[in-house]
Amino acid sequence: MSAVIQKKETVFVIQKMDCPTEEKLIRNHLSGMAGVDDLRFNLVERELTVRYSLESDELIEAALRDIDMAPARKDSNASSSHPTSVPVHTKMIVGLSGITAITAEVLGWVIGNEQNYAVIALSVIAILTGGYGTVKKGWTALRTFTLNIYFLMTLAVTGAALIGEWPEAAMVTFLFAFAELIENYSLDRARNAIRNLMAMTPEVATVKQPDGSWQVVSVDAVQMEALVRVKPGERIPLDGIVMNGQSSVNQAAITGESMPVEKKTGDTILAGTLNERGSFEFRVTANKGNTTLARIIRSVQAAQSDRAPTQRFVDRFAAYYTPAVVLLAVLIAIVPPLFFGAVFKIWFYKALVMLVIACPCALVISTPVTVVSGLAAAARNGILIKGGVYLEEGRRLKALALDKTGTLTYGKPVATDISPLDGGATDRYLRLAASLESHSEHPVAQAIVMHVVKDKSQNALQEVTDFESITGRGIKGKIEGGLYYVGNHRLVEELGICNRDVEAVLERLEKEGKTTLILTTEQKPLCIFAVADTIRETSVAAIKDLEEQGIHCVILTGDNQITANAIAAKTGIKDVRGNMLPEDKLKAIEELQQRYGITGMVGDGVNDAPALAKASIGFAMGAAGTDTALETADVALMEDDLHRLPLFIDLSRKTGTILKQNITLAIAIKVVFLAMNFANLATLWMAVFADMGASLIVIFNGLRLLKFKKPAYSHDHGSYEHSHHHH
């Protein structure tokens, strides 16, 4: 450390922080401290990240202790192993509080006197056992000038006791403590959604030692480039590249694809995926903490602590709403008795009910729970969303720009047509062309070689002698003594053997946006081959689904317009723009945003970075192995399947609906109770019950998102076999 104090950050795990109430308390207390630069809260993981420019974080820790938020520093290895279940003694205390409160209520009713010593004694036990935590937090809130539910509850209970409503005070205390317990349990469900992701990587790996033996070691200790062996049925411990052996791997955990994927030498495998039947060895390419899965988990956690728009709105609303209601409660307690000679006790009681109604807890907690559930459901379906903002924006998408190569198409040329010109055997011509092309590095050439090698054994290729490349025209070489050429139109022209038939075939194929090659001798052309990038079957169906969702789709591609049109025709997209450089794509996005509003961009994240960044939501395709895509995009689709897009929009719409339901519900319950209070129908413990009931309803409503399943696409099964040989 130099003399200048640099910005540092500490992550504290605070067991007592799981409601926005505590967050506000901590914010009020810490944000004024000298040297504290930034606070980031993750309520679901109960973590607080503090950025500061002090010598050490001792002062911050002391400040947290001061408001009774016992912090523990989170060290990297004990990542979130902290138990979240409610401790047994808490349950017992709440139980005791419940028994005594109910007994007091019954006894008071039987005797007909709530001022009876036994009734009061039972009530006091109930209040002390159930309300100890609440009062402690209420006192902290008072000291730090924070209006929160604990402060309001403490006031209400004290007030009720003061006017002699002992059993009532006891019931209120118990109900509140009990509801807090249930709330903890239900929030744990949202927490576990993320935890389950973490549990997917094994703790140990079988690693090859320098002496050649295999040893089981902790995953933490495995170095980059180490050789790891995986047996059938085991989960893969780290990212890597298969060195030998082959198997099929179930990648559903990360990419959300249902079918296992074949893996052979040279293929990428990801930590947390499940090896099915074969065994293989792989070379480690990412150590613990840097694997794709670890990055996904980090992204989801970072996304939670970013505030989604609804949450920001709700927090602002609560900031005005609570003080207003508290002020109203004070007026209700004072004005009628003072100025209108009303009975103080009755109006004071009404004021207490008002205080309980004032708590916006249900409203405030509903948003983070809903958003976290949505993020977790997306991650399960192979969609990684970088923030609640994008989860909410998704439902408002109006237009979507798609990169063509590698997004709509496989991004790899494949031989599509073989047209012999003299009725000769296609097999022989293919073999001749492939034998020559196998000496060329050109991707179009490789497409033809692949076509032959894929269907037949390796020895289908023949010996080539005197091989020579003719720049800008093609290649030539001798096979079994005869001289053959493979090249473009120009080559045939220059050999002086071009004819009408050749021209006609070439013209037809080029109109379809295909690249052509001609196999010829010096005397006559023999066969024309066409090569093209083929469209993914999944793309056509996915585009149809997007159009049905009312989204205007546009193709933006660097390819020529003819090829672009050919692909567009197959997908049914009308708006297609070819010959686009990265900066043209950027301009196109700006133009779409002006014309349609919220515009998404789907690309592979490498050459489309500027456009992805400019779009309202940038989607990266097939991000399961690539760093750039995970970094630049707002939403990463882990698999090369556009179906994840309509799925994302469905999920976003569902999240929006649930958020609206939750806000409406929470506010409606408050309004109903305000009315009941003035009509003399509301009792204190009904108010607590309603308040907590509302919280639980909105939490469980939010958790419904965890069950989000992708709708079965009828045209889905055909797509999987095709989508993998290009990795």
Tell me the catalytic residues: 403
CA angle 79, 85, 90 (to 5 degrees): 135
322 three-class SS: helix
Residue type, 131: G
Alpha-carbon distance of 644 to 546, in angstroms, equals 11
Residues 6+ apart with CB under 8 A from 305: 40, 41, 42, 47, 49
The set of residues, in sequence order, having a beta carbon less than 8 Å from that of 673 and lying 6+ positions away, is 353, 357, 682, 686, 687, 690
CA distance 12 to 24: 16
CB of 298 within 8 A of CB of 375?
A: no
Pairing of β 280-286 and β 474-479: unpaired
The backbone torsions φ and ψ at residue 412, rounded to the nearest 5 degrees and listed phi first, read -145, 125
Residue 67 near residue 25, CB atoms below 8 Å? yes
Cα distance between residue 416 and residue 509, in whole Å: 10
**Sign of the CA dihedral running 201, 203, 206, 209:** positive
Q: How far apart are CA 725 and CA 717, in angstroms?
A: 16
Closest CA to 223 of 213, 211, 210: 210
Pairing of strands 599-603, 617-620: parallel
Structure tokens at 431: 């073999």
Query: Which residues have CB under 8 Å from 587's CB, separation 6+?
Result: none
